[in-house]
Structure 1
Amino acid sequence: MVTIPSSCSALSCPTVGLSNGLNIPILGLGTSHDGGYSHEAVLYALQECGIRHIDTAKRYGCEEALGKAVADSAVPREELWLTTKLWPGDYGYQSAKQACRDSCARLGVDYLDLYLMHWPDCMVPGLSSREVRAETWRALEELYDEGLCRAIGVSNFLIRHLNELKDRGGVVPHVNQVEFHPFQQPLELVEYCREEDIVFEGYCPLAKGQALTHPAIMKLARKYGRSASQICVRWSIQNGVVTIPKSTKPDRIHENCQVFGFRLDDSDMAALGLLHDGRHVSWDPTHVE
Protein backbone atom coordinates (compact mmCIF):
# COMPACT_ATOMS: atom_id res chain seq x y z
CA MET A 1 0.00 0.00 0.00
CA VAL A 2 1.03 3.60 -0.52
CA THR A 3 1.58 5.98 2.37
CA ILE A 4 -0.62 9.03 1.83
CA PRO A 5 0.37 12.39 3.39
CA SER A 6 -2.14 14.92 4.64
CA SER A 7 -1.61 17.33 1.75
CA CYS A 8 -0.71 17.26 -1.91
CA SER A 9 1.35 19.67 -3.98
CA ALA A 10 3.55 19.43 -7.03
CA LEU A 11 6.40 18.30 -4.81
CA SER A 12 4.57 16.15 -2.27
CA CYS A 13 1.79 14.33 -4.14
CA PRO A 14 2.00 10.70 -3.08
CA THR A 15 3.13 8.18 -5.63
CA VAL A 16 2.90 4.46 -6.25
CA GLY A 17 6.01 2.55 -7.23
CA LEU A 18 6.12 0.62 -10.48
CA SER A 19 8.00 -2.66 -10.85
CA ASN A 20 10.72 -0.87 -12.84
CA GLY A 21 11.48 1.62 -10.06
CA LEU A 22 9.53 4.59 -11.41
CA ASN A 23 6.83 6.31 -9.36
CA ILE A 24 3.44 7.32 -10.72
CA PRO A 25 1.45 10.06 -8.93
CA ILE A 26 -1.56 8.46 -7.25
CA LEU A 27 -3.85 11.30 -8.37
CA GLY A 28 -4.09 12.56 -11.92
CA LEU A 29 -6.39 14.41 -14.29
CA GLY A 30 -8.25 12.36 -16.86
CA THR A 31 -9.31 13.66 -20.27
CA SER A 32 -11.76 12.25 -22.79
CA HIS A 33 -13.46 12.82 -26.13
CA ASP A 34 -16.89 14.36 -26.78
CA GLY A 35 -16.21 17.57 -24.88
CA GLY A 36 -14.01 15.96 -22.25
CA TYR A 37 -11.08 18.32 -22.77
CA SER A 38 -10.55 21.94 -21.69
CA HIS A 39 -7.37 23.95 -22.21
CA GLU A 40 -8.27 26.19 -19.28
CA ALA A 41 -8.87 23.20 -17.00
CA VAL A 42 -5.54 21.56 -17.80
CA LEU A 43 -3.67 24.81 -17.20
CA TYR A 44 -5.48 25.27 -13.90
CA ALA A 45 -4.72 21.70 -12.81
CA LEU A 46 -1.02 22.09 -13.60
CA GLN A 47 -0.44 25.65 -12.41
CA GLU A 48 -2.84 26.03 -9.48
CA CYS A 49 -3.50 22.51 -8.15
CA GLY A 50 -0.06 20.97 -8.46
CA ILE A 51 -1.33 18.14 -10.65
CA ARG A 52 1.56 16.48 -12.47
CA HIS A 53 -0.18 13.41 -13.86
CA ILE A 54 -2.30 13.78 -17.01
CA ASP A 55 -4.02 10.87 -18.74
CA THR A 56 -5.17 10.95 -22.36
CA ALA A 57 -5.45 8.71 -25.43
CA LYS A 58 -5.30 8.93 -29.20
CA ARG A 59 -8.97 7.93 -29.16
CA TYR A 60 -9.88 11.16 -27.35
CA GLY A 61 -8.54 13.37 -30.13
CA CYS A 62 -6.98 15.90 -27.77
CA GLU A 63 -3.28 14.96 -27.70
CA GLU A 64 -2.26 17.99 -29.74
CA ALA A 65 -4.35 20.37 -27.62
CA LEU A 66 -2.96 18.78 -24.45
CA GLY A 67 0.57 19.24 -25.73
CA LYS A 68 -0.12 22.95 -26.19
CA ALA A 69 -1.53 23.23 -22.66
CA VAL A 70 1.50 21.46 -21.20
CA ALA A 71 3.81 23.83 -23.08
CA ASP A 72 1.80 26.87 -22.00
CA SER A 73 1.90 25.75 -18.36
CA ALA A 74 5.72 26.08 -18.29
CA VAL A 75 5.91 23.05 -15.99
CA PRO A 76 9.24 21.30 -16.66
CA ARG A 77 8.83 18.09 -18.64
CA GLU A 78 10.72 16.06 -16.04
CA GLU A 79 8.10 16.95 -13.42
CA LEU A 80 5.23 15.56 -15.51
CA TRP A 81 3.75 12.12 -15.85
CA LEU A 82 2.06 11.87 -19.26
CA THR A 83 0.04 8.80 -20.17
CA THR A 84 -1.53 8.12 -23.54
CA LYS A 85 -3.04 5.04 -25.12
CA LEU A 86 -2.77 3.04 -28.32
CA TRP A 87 -6.11 2.54 -30.07
CA PRO A 88 -6.89 -0.99 -31.41
CA GLY A 89 -7.06 0.38 -34.94
CA ASP A 90 -3.29 0.88 -34.62
CA TYR A 91 -2.54 -2.54 -33.16
CA GLY A 92 0.13 -4.62 -34.86
CA TYR A 93 3.91 -4.45 -34.67
CA GLN A 94 4.77 -1.71 -37.15
CA SER A 95 1.60 0.33 -36.75
CA ALA A 96 1.92 0.39 -32.96
CA LYS A 97 5.45 1.73 -33.18
CA GLN A 98 4.41 4.45 -35.60
CA ALA A 99 1.34 5.34 -33.52
CA CYS A 100 3.53 5.86 -30.46
CA ARG A 101 5.84 8.22 -32.34
CA ASP A 102 2.83 10.06 -33.73
CA SER A 103 1.38 10.48 -30.22
CA CYS A 104 4.71 11.89 -29.01
CA ALA A 105 4.70 14.35 -31.91
CA ARG A 106 1.16 15.49 -31.20
CA LEU A 107 1.96 15.90 -27.50
CA GLY A 108 5.18 17.73 -28.32
CA VAL A 109 7.35 15.42 -26.20
CA ASP A 110 10.36 13.22 -26.80
CA TYR A 111 9.04 10.36 -24.67
CA LEU A 112 5.94 9.10 -22.87
CA ASP A 113 5.89 8.25 -19.19
CA LEU A 114 3.31 5.53 -19.76
CA TYR A 115 1.92 4.00 -22.96
CA LEU A 116 -1.09 1.69 -22.71
CA MET A 117 -2.87 -0.73 -25.02
CA HIS A 118 -6.33 0.80 -24.76
CA TRP A 119 -8.53 -2.29 -25.12
CA PRO A 120 -8.00 -6.08 -25.30
CA ASP A 121 -10.09 -6.62 -28.43
CA CYS A 122 -8.39 -6.03 -31.77
CA MET A 123 -9.30 -4.72 -35.21
CA VAL A 124 -6.91 -6.52 -37.56
CA PRO A 125 -8.75 -8.58 -40.22
CA GLY A 126 -7.71 -12.21 -40.53
CA LEU A 127 -5.88 -12.39 -37.21
CA SER A 128 -7.07 -13.43 -33.78
CA SER A 129 -7.05 -10.95 -30.92
CA ARG A 130 -4.50 -13.16 -29.16
CA GLU A 131 -2.08 -12.94 -32.10
CA VAL A 132 -2.51 -9.21 -32.49
CA ARG A 133 -2.13 -8.52 -28.77
CA ALA A 134 1.12 -10.50 -28.76
CA GLU A 135 2.75 -8.66 -31.65
CA THR A 136 1.48 -5.31 -30.40
CA TRP A 137 2.91 -5.98 -26.96
CA ARG A 138 6.24 -6.92 -28.58
CA ALA A 139 6.27 -3.48 -30.20
CA LEU A 140 5.59 -1.80 -26.85
CA GLU A 141 8.39 -3.80 -25.24
CA GLU A 142 10.80 -2.53 -27.90
CA LEU A 143 9.55 1.05 -27.47
CA TYR A 144 10.22 0.61 -23.74
CA ASP A 145 13.71 -0.75 -24.39
CA GLU A 146 14.40 2.20 -26.70
CA GLY A 147 13.36 4.66 -23.98
CA LEU A 148 10.50 6.15 -25.98
CA CYS A 149 8.17 4.89 -23.24
CA ARG A 150 9.39 4.97 -19.65
CA ALA A 151 6.70 2.43 -18.72
CA ILE A 152 4.21 0.33 -20.66
CA GLY A 153 0.90 -1.22 -19.73
CA VAL A 154 -2.65 -2.04 -20.68
CA SER A 155 -6.17 -0.81 -20.08
CA ASN A 156 -9.36 -2.81 -19.58
CA PHE A 157 -7.44 -6.10 -19.50
CA LEU A 158 -8.82 -8.93 -17.38
CA ILE A 159 -6.86 -11.71 -15.67
CA ARG A 160 -6.95 -13.99 -18.70
CA HIS A 161 -5.58 -11.23 -20.93
CA LEU A 162 -2.81 -10.45 -18.44
CA ASN A 163 -1.93 -14.13 -18.07
CA GLU A 164 -1.52 -14.33 -21.82
CA LEU A 165 1.10 -11.57 -21.80
CA LYS A 166 2.77 -13.03 -18.72
CA ASP A 167 3.10 -16.43 -20.41
CA ARG A 168 5.13 -14.85 -23.21
CA GLY A 169 7.95 -14.32 -20.73
CA GLY A 170 8.67 -10.72 -21.67
CA VAL A 171 7.95 -7.49 -19.82
CA VAL A 172 5.00 -7.77 -17.45
CA PRO A 173 2.73 -4.71 -17.85
CA HIS A 174 3.68 -2.01 -15.39
CA VAL A 175 0.09 -0.73 -15.13
CA ASN A 176 -3.44 -1.97 -15.80
CA GLN A 177 -5.99 0.85 -16.05
CA VAL A 178 -9.54 -0.34 -15.40
CA GLU A 179 -12.92 1.10 -14.44
CA PHE A 180 -13.05 1.37 -10.63
CA HIS A 181 -15.66 3.04 -8.42
CA PRO A 182 -17.95 1.99 -5.53
CA PHE A 183 -20.32 0.16 -7.91
CA GLN A 184 -17.56 -1.55 -9.92
CA GLN A 185 -14.95 -3.13 -7.67
CA PRO A 186 -13.10 -5.91 -9.55
CA LEU A 187 -11.35 -7.07 -6.41
CA GLU A 188 -10.08 -10.35 -7.87
CA LEU A 189 -8.40 -8.38 -10.66
CA VAL A 190 -7.01 -5.86 -8.17
CA GLU A 191 -5.51 -8.65 -6.08
CA TYR A 192 -4.08 -10.40 -9.13
CA CYS A 193 -2.39 -7.17 -10.25
CA ARG A 194 -0.86 -6.66 -6.82
CA GLU A 195 0.41 -10.24 -6.71
CA GLU A 196 2.01 -9.77 -10.13
CA ASP A 197 3.45 -6.33 -9.23
CA ILE A 198 1.20 -4.58 -11.76
CA VAL A 199 -0.01 -1.19 -10.55
CA PHE A 200 -3.79 -0.98 -10.62
CA GLU A 201 -5.12 2.33 -11.94
CA GLY A 202 -8.80 3.22 -11.80
CA TYR A 203 -10.84 5.42 -14.10
CA CYS A 204 -14.41 6.75 -13.70
CA PRO A 205 -14.03 7.06 -9.89
CA LEU A 206 -17.32 8.95 -9.71
CA ALA A 207 -19.14 6.40 -11.91
CA LYS A 208 -19.83 9.24 -14.37
CA GLY A 209 -21.74 11.07 -11.65
CA GLN A 210 -23.91 8.13 -10.60
CA ALA A 211 -22.10 7.83 -7.28
CA LEU A 212 -22.70 11.45 -6.32
CA THR A 213 -26.35 10.95 -5.41
CA HIS A 214 -26.11 7.58 -3.69
CA PRO A 215 -27.51 7.92 -0.14
CA ALA A 216 -24.59 6.13 1.55
CA ILE A 217 -22.04 8.34 -0.17
CA MET A 218 -24.03 11.51 0.53
CA LYS A 219 -24.28 10.48 4.18
CA LEU A 220 -20.49 10.14 4.41
CA ALA A 221 -20.06 13.50 2.68
CA ARG A 222 -22.11 15.09 5.45
CA LYS A 223 -20.22 13.18 8.14
CA TYR A 224 -16.80 14.34 6.92
CA GLY A 225 -17.86 17.79 5.76
CA ARG A 226 -16.75 16.93 2.23
CA SER A 227 -18.38 16.61 -1.17
CA ALA A 228 -19.60 13.29 -2.52
CA SER A 229 -16.91 13.40 -5.21
CA GLN A 230 -14.21 13.88 -2.57
CA ILE A 231 -15.52 10.85 -0.69
CA CYS A 232 -15.30 8.73 -3.87
CA VAL A 233 -11.84 9.94 -4.86
CA ARG A 234 -10.57 9.55 -1.31
CA TRP A 235 -12.01 6.02 -1.08
CA SER A 236 -10.27 5.02 -4.31
CA ILE A 237 -6.93 6.50 -3.29
CA GLN A 238 -7.18 5.05 0.20
CA ASN A 239 -7.54 1.65 -1.46
CA GLY A 240 -4.13 2.28 -3.01
CA VAL A 241 -5.59 2.75 -6.49
CA VAL A 242 -4.06 5.31 -8.83
CA THR A 243 -7.05 7.54 -9.56
CA ILE A 244 -7.73 9.85 -12.52
CA PRO A 245 -11.02 11.78 -12.16
CA LYS A 246 -12.04 13.70 -15.28
CA SER A 247 -13.33 17.24 -15.31
CA THR A 248 -13.28 20.27 -17.58
CA LYS A 249 -14.24 22.67 -14.77
CA PRO A 250 -11.51 24.28 -12.65
CA ASP A 251 -13.66 24.32 -9.51
CA ARG A 252 -14.33 20.59 -9.81
CA ILE A 253 -10.65 19.86 -10.41
CA HIS A 254 -9.76 21.85 -7.30
CA GLU A 255 -12.39 19.95 -5.33
CA ASN A 256 -11.11 16.58 -6.51
CA CYS A 257 -7.57 17.49 -5.44
CA GLN A 258 -8.59 18.29 -1.84
CA VAL A 259 -8.60 14.68 -0.70
CA PHE A 260 -5.38 14.42 1.28
CA GLY A 261 -6.46 16.33 4.40
CA PHE A 262 -8.79 13.66 5.78
CA ARG A 263 -9.02 9.90 6.06
CA LEU A 264 -12.06 7.63 5.91
CA ASP A 265 -12.57 5.39 8.92
CA ASP A 266 -12.11 1.67 8.37
CA SER A 267 -15.80 1.11 8.95
CA ASP A 268 -16.70 3.68 6.29
CA MET A 269 -14.23 2.15 3.84
CA ALA A 270 -15.91 -1.20 4.45
CA ALA A 271 -19.38 0.30 4.00
CA LEU A 272 -18.40 1.72 0.61
CA GLY A 273 -16.95 -1.66 -0.26
CA LEU A 274 -20.44 -3.12 0.06
CA LEU A 275 -21.83 -0.89 -2.72
CA HIS A 276 -20.43 -3.06 -5.50
CA ASP A 277 -23.26 -4.15 -7.80
CA GLY A 278 -21.23 -4.98 -10.90
CA ARG A 279 -22.45 -2.11 -13.08
CA HIS A 280 -20.22 -0.64 -15.76
CA VAL A 281 -20.51 3.01 -16.73
CA SER A 282 -17.89 2.58 -19.43
CA TRP A 283 -16.71 -0.35 -21.56
CA ASP A 284 -17.20 -3.89 -20.33
CA PRO A 285 -14.32 -6.18 -21.45
CA THR A 286 -15.81 -9.42 -20.11
CA HIS A 287 -16.82 -10.59 -23.61
CA VAL A 288 -13.33 -10.15 -25.08
CA GLU A 289 -11.55 -13.47 -25.49
Structure 2
Amino acid sequence: MTDNAPVQPTPLTLLGTGAMGTALGRAWLAAGHPLTVWNRTPARTGALAAEGATVAATAADAVAANRLVVACLLDDASVGEALEDAGLTGRDLVNLTTGTPAEGRSRAAWAKARGARFLDGGIMAVPPMIGAPQSGAYVLYSGSAALFEEHRETLTVPAGTTYVGADPGFAALHDVALLSGMYGMFAGVTHAFALIRREDIPPKDFAPLLVSWLHAMAPMAHTAAEQLESGDFTRNVTSNLAMQVAGSTTLLRTAEEQGISPELLTPFLALMRRRLSEGHGDEDTAGLVDLLAPGEN
Protein backbone atom coordinates (compact mmCIF):
# COMPACT_ATOMS: atom_id res chain seq x y z
CA MET A 1 0.00 0.00 0.00
CA THR A 2 1.52 3.29 -1.09
CA ASP A 3 1.48 6.21 1.32
CA ASN A 4 0.41 9.23 -0.72
CA ALA A 5 0.21 11.58 2.25
CA PRO A 6 1.77 14.95 1.45
CA VAL A 7 5.19 15.65 2.91
CA GLN A 8 4.89 18.04 5.82
CA PRO A 9 7.11 21.12 5.85
CA THR A 10 10.15 20.70 8.08
CA PRO A 11 9.85 22.36 11.50
CA LEU A 12 12.79 24.57 12.42
CA THR A 13 14.15 26.99 14.98
CA LEU A 14 15.28 30.52 14.23
CA LEU A 15 17.64 32.35 16.59
CA GLY A 16 17.57 36.09 15.95
CA THR A 17 14.58 38.14 14.84
CA GLY A 18 16.16 41.37 13.64
CA ALA A 19 15.27 42.72 10.21
CA MET A 20 16.86 39.81 8.32
CA GLY A 21 15.77 37.15 10.78
CA THR A 22 12.19 38.38 10.68
CA ALA A 23 12.21 38.32 6.88
CA LEU A 24 13.51 34.74 6.91
CA GLY A 25 10.96 33.69 9.50
CA ARG A 26 8.06 35.18 7.56
CA ALA A 27 9.09 33.27 4.45
CA TRP A 28 9.17 29.96 6.32
CA LEU A 29 5.86 30.63 8.06
CA ALA A 30 4.22 31.57 4.77
CA ALA A 31 5.39 28.26 3.32
CA GLY A 32 3.82 26.35 6.21
CA HIS A 33 6.95 25.51 8.21
CA PRO A 34 6.33 25.24 11.97
CA LEU A 35 8.73 27.82 13.43
CA THR A 36 10.13 28.33 16.90
CA VAL A 37 11.90 31.63 17.47
CA TRP A 38 14.12 33.24 20.08
CA ASN A 39 15.64 36.67 20.37
CA ARG A 40 17.74 38.22 23.11
CA THR A 41 15.22 41.08 23.24
CA PRO A 42 11.89 39.19 23.49
CA ALA A 43 9.80 42.10 22.23
CA ARG A 44 11.37 41.72 18.79
CA THR A 45 9.75 38.31 18.34
CA GLY A 46 6.28 39.90 18.34
CA ALA A 47 5.87 40.20 14.57
CA LEU A 48 6.61 36.53 13.95
CA ALA A 49 4.57 35.41 16.95
CA ALA A 50 1.58 37.25 15.48
CA GLU A 51 2.05 35.24 12.28
CA GLY A 52 2.12 31.88 14.04
CA ALA A 53 5.64 31.33 15.37
CA THR A 54 6.20 29.79 18.77
CA VAL A 55 8.37 31.96 21.02
CA ALA A 56 10.90 30.16 23.22
CA ALA A 57 11.90 31.63 26.56
CA THR A 58 15.59 30.79 26.08
CA ALA A 59 17.89 29.94 23.24
CA ALA A 60 18.41 26.50 24.78
CA ASP A 61 14.65 25.89 24.73
CA ALA A 62 14.49 27.01 21.11
CA VAL A 63 17.28 24.61 20.12
CA ALA A 64 15.60 21.76 21.98
CA ALA A 65 12.40 22.30 19.99
CA ASN A 66 13.73 21.27 16.57
CA ARG A 67 16.55 19.41 14.89
CA LEU A 68 17.13 22.15 12.30
CA VAL A 69 18.41 25.35 13.93
CA VAL A 70 19.13 28.53 11.99
CA ALA A 71 21.09 31.36 13.61
CA CYS A 72 20.88 34.91 12.24
CA LEU A 73 22.46 36.99 14.97
CA LEU A 74 24.63 40.09 15.31
CA ASP A 75 28.06 38.50 15.04
CA ASP A 76 30.01 35.30 15.68
CA ALA A 77 30.48 36.07 19.36
CA SER A 78 26.71 36.38 19.81
CA VAL A 79 26.26 32.90 18.30
CA GLY A 80 28.59 31.41 20.89
CA GLU A 81 26.90 33.30 23.71
CA ALA A 82 23.39 32.32 22.62
CA LEU A 83 24.25 28.64 22.28
CA GLU A 84 26.49 28.35 25.31
CA ASP A 85 23.92 26.39 27.35
CA ALA A 86 22.12 24.71 24.45
CA GLY A 87 22.27 20.98 23.81
CA LEU A 88 23.54 20.66 20.24
CA THR A 89 23.99 16.89 20.02
CA GLY A 90 22.11 15.62 16.98
CA ARG A 91 21.24 19.13 15.83
CA ASP A 92 21.80 20.63 12.37
CA LEU A 93 23.11 24.16 12.88
CA VAL A 94 22.91 26.58 9.96
CA ASN A 95 24.69 29.83 10.75
CA LEU A 96 23.51 32.79 8.64
CA THR A 97 25.31 35.29 10.87
CA THR A 98 27.73 37.49 8.95
CA GLY A 99 31.33 36.57 9.73
CA THR A 100 34.79 35.93 8.37
CA PRO A 101 36.14 32.71 6.82
CA ALA A 102 38.19 32.03 9.96
CA GLU A 103 35.10 32.46 12.14
CA GLY A 104 33.17 30.04 9.94
CA ARG A 105 35.87 27.38 10.26
CA SER A 106 36.21 27.91 13.99
CA ARG A 107 32.45 27.77 14.53
CA ALA A 108 32.24 24.55 12.50
CA ALA A 109 34.85 22.90 14.73
CA TRP A 110 33.02 24.23 17.79
CA ALA A 111 29.72 22.76 16.59
CA LYS A 112 31.28 19.39 15.72
CA ALA A 113 32.78 19.15 19.20
CA ARG A 114 29.26 19.58 20.57
CA GLY A 115 27.77 16.87 18.38
CA ALA A 116 26.15 19.03 15.70
CA ARG A 117 26.44 19.15 11.94
CA PHE A 118 27.27 22.64 10.69
CA LEU A 119 26.60 24.76 7.64
CA ASP A 120 27.76 28.35 7.30
CA GLY A 121 25.91 30.82 5.11
CA GLY A 122 26.37 34.19 3.47
CA ILE A 123 23.16 36.02 2.57
CA MET A 124 23.42 37.87 -0.73
CA ALA A 125 20.32 39.99 -0.25
CA VAL A 126 18.70 42.70 1.84
CA PRO A 127 15.57 41.89 3.92
CA PRO A 128 12.96 43.09 1.35
CA MET A 129 14.39 40.59 -1.17
CA ILE A 130 13.85 37.60 1.14
CA GLY A 131 10.83 35.50 0.19
CA ALA A 132 10.18 37.69 -2.85
CA PRO A 133 9.97 35.67 -6.09
CA GLN A 134 12.35 36.80 -8.83
CA SER A 135 14.19 39.16 -6.46
CA GLY A 136 17.52 37.52 -7.21
CA ALA A 137 18.20 36.82 -3.53
CA TYR A 138 20.36 33.83 -2.72
CA VAL A 139 22.41 32.41 0.11
CA LEU A 140 25.90 30.96 -0.19
CA TYR A 141 26.41 27.80 1.88
CA SER A 142 29.52 25.86 2.88
CA GLY A 143 30.25 23.07 5.32
CA SER A 144 28.37 19.79 5.68
CA ALA A 145 27.23 18.68 2.24
CA ALA A 146 24.95 16.06 3.80
CA LEU A 147 23.21 18.72 5.90
CA PHE A 148 22.79 20.95 2.86
CA GLU A 149 21.29 18.20 0.72
CA GLU A 150 18.92 17.03 3.44
CA HIS A 151 17.56 20.52 4.14
CA ARG A 152 17.96 22.07 0.69
CA GLU A 153 14.20 22.33 0.11
CA THR A 154 13.68 24.17 3.41
CA LEU A 155 16.68 26.44 2.92
CA THR A 156 15.46 27.39 -0.56
CA VAL A 157 12.18 28.81 0.77
CA PRO A 158 13.48 32.30 1.69
CA ALA A 159 16.03 32.62 -1.12
CA GLY A 160 17.97 30.67 -3.72
CA THR A 161 20.81 28.45 -2.54
CA THR A 162 24.36 28.04 -3.82
CA TYR A 163 26.64 25.45 -2.19
CA VAL A 164 30.28 26.51 -2.53
CA GLY A 165 32.17 23.70 -0.84
CA ALA A 166 32.90 21.58 2.21
CA ASP A 167 35.30 24.13 3.68
CA PRO A 168 33.11 25.96 6.25
CA GLY A 169 34.95 29.22 5.53
CA PHE A 170 34.08 29.34 1.85
CA ALA A 171 30.60 30.86 2.21
CA ALA A 172 31.98 33.85 4.13
CA LEU A 173 34.91 34.13 1.73
CA HIS A 174 32.63 34.20 -1.31
CA ASP A 175 30.33 36.64 0.47
CA VAL A 176 33.11 39.11 1.27
CA ALA A 177 34.72 38.73 -2.17
CA LEU A 178 31.40 39.56 -3.85
CA LEU A 179 30.76 42.47 -1.50
CA SER A 180 34.26 43.77 -2.15
CA GLY A 181 33.54 43.79 -5.86
CA MET A 182 30.30 45.63 -5.14
CA TYR A 183 32.05 48.33 -3.13
CA GLY A 184 34.60 48.75 -5.89
CA MET A 185 31.71 49.40 -8.25
CA PHE A 186 30.15 51.81 -5.73
CA ALA A 187 33.45 53.71 -5.66
CA GLY A 188 33.42 54.09 -9.44
CA VAL A 189 29.77 55.18 -9.45
CA THR A 190 30.48 57.73 -6.72
CA HIS A 191 33.42 59.19 -8.65
CA ALA A 192 31.40 59.31 -11.87
CA PHE A 193 28.56 61.27 -10.25
CA ALA A 194 31.07 63.60 -8.58
CA LEU A 195 32.51 64.47 -12.00
CA ILE A 196 29.15 65.72 -13.30
CA ARG A 197 27.87 67.10 -10.00
CA ARG A 198 28.48 70.80 -10.75
CA GLU A 199 27.44 70.64 -14.40
CA ASP A 200 24.06 71.01 -16.09
CA ILE A 201 23.75 67.24 -16.37
CA PRO A 202 20.79 65.77 -14.44
CA PRO A 203 21.98 62.70 -12.51
CA LYS A 204 18.80 60.85 -13.50
CA ASP A 205 19.69 61.33 -17.15
CA PHE A 206 23.28 60.21 -16.61
CA ALA A 207 22.37 57.13 -14.56
CA PRO A 208 21.04 54.99 -17.47
CA LEU A 209 24.26 55.61 -19.39
CA LEU A 210 26.32 54.60 -16.36
CA VAL A 211 24.32 51.44 -15.71
CA SER A 212 24.52 50.41 -19.36
CA TRP A 213 28.28 50.97 -19.45
CA LEU A 214 28.96 49.03 -16.26
CA HIS A 215 26.77 46.19 -17.51
CA ALA A 216 28.77 46.07 -20.75
CA MET A 217 32.08 46.01 -18.86
CA ALA A 218 31.11 43.41 -16.23
CA PRO A 219 31.96 40.36 -18.40
CA MET A 220 35.64 41.30 -18.09
CA ALA A 221 35.49 39.23 -14.92
CA HIS A 222 35.25 36.09 -17.10
CA THR A 223 38.37 37.08 -19.05
CA ALA A 224 40.20 37.83 -15.81
CA ALA A 225 39.21 34.44 -14.40
CA GLU A 226 40.54 32.65 -17.50
CA GLN A 227 43.81 34.57 -17.29
CA LEU A 228 44.20 33.83 -13.58
CA GLU A 229 43.60 30.11 -14.11
CA SER A 230 46.01 29.90 -17.04
CA GLY A 231 48.62 32.22 -15.56
CA ASP A 232 48.82 34.00 -18.92
CA PHE A 233 47.74 37.61 -18.41
CA THR A 234 48.38 38.45 -22.07
CA ARG A 235 45.62 36.14 -23.33
CA ASN A 236 42.67 37.85 -25.05
CA VAL A 237 43.84 41.34 -24.08
CA THR A 238 41.85 44.15 -25.69
CA SER A 239 43.45 47.15 -24.01
CA ASN A 240 46.83 46.40 -22.48
CA LEU A 241 48.20 47.84 -19.28
CA ALA A 242 50.59 50.23 -21.04
CA MET A 243 47.69 51.75 -22.97
CA GLN A 244 45.48 51.99 -19.89
CA VAL A 245 48.18 53.65 -17.77
CA ALA A 246 48.81 56.19 -20.52
CA GLY A 247 45.09 56.95 -20.71
CA SER A 248 44.69 57.23 -16.94
CA THR A 249 46.32 60.65 -16.93
CA THR A 250 43.18 61.97 -18.61
CA LEU A 251 41.09 60.66 -15.73
CA LEU A 252 43.26 62.50 -13.23
CA ARG A 253 43.40 65.72 -15.22
CA THR A 254 39.63 65.72 -15.63
CA ALA A 255 39.12 65.23 -11.89
CA GLU A 256 41.44 68.19 -11.29
CA GLU A 257 39.57 70.36 -13.82
CA GLN A 258 36.24 69.46 -12.23
CA GLY A 259 37.63 70.25 -8.78
CA ILE A 260 36.97 66.84 -7.26
CA SER A 261 39.21 64.52 -5.29
CA PRO A 262 40.68 61.55 -7.22
CA GLU A 263 41.07 59.52 -4.00
CA LEU A 264 38.67 56.79 -5.12
CA LEU A 265 40.72 56.20 -8.29
CA THR A 266 44.32 56.69 -7.20
CA PRO A 267 44.86 53.38 -5.33
CA PHE A 268 43.91 51.31 -8.37
CA LEU A 269 45.82 53.56 -10.77
CA ALA A 270 48.88 53.27 -8.54
CA LEU A 271 48.69 49.46 -8.77
CA MET A 272 48.47 49.73 -12.56
CA ARG A 273 51.59 51.91 -12.72
CA ARG A 274 53.45 49.57 -10.38
CA ARG A 275 52.65 46.52 -12.49
CA LEU A 276 53.68 48.40 -15.62
CA SER A 277 56.99 49.43 -14.03
CA GLU A 278 57.73 45.75 -13.44
CA GLY A 279 57.59 45.08 -17.18
CA HIS A 280 54.04 43.83 -17.69
CA GLY A 281 52.78 46.40 -20.18
CA ASP A 282 51.34 43.78 -22.53
CA GLU A 283 49.07 42.32 -19.85
CA ASP A 284 45.51 43.07 -18.86
CA THR A 285 44.58 44.32 -15.38
CA ALA A 286 44.10 40.76 -14.05
CA GLY A 287 47.81 40.73 -13.31
CA LEU A 288 47.20 43.24 -10.54
CA VAL A 289 45.81 40.34 -8.48
CA ASP A 290 49.36 39.07 -8.08
CA LEU A 291 50.34 42.38 -6.48
CA LEU A 292 47.63 41.92 -3.85
CA ALA A 293 48.19 38.18 -3.40
CA PRO A 294 51.93 37.70 -4.03
CA GLY A 295 53.28 34.20 -4.35
CA GLU A 296 50.07 32.76 -5.82
CA ASN A 297 51.12 32.81 -9.49
Tell whether the structures are fold-level matches, with TM greater than 0.5. no
Larger Rg: 2
TM-score scaled to structure 1, two decimals? 0.32
Higher relative contact order (CA 8 A, sep 6+): 1
More helix by proportion, 1 or 2?
A: 2
TM-score scaled to structure 2, two decimals? 0.31
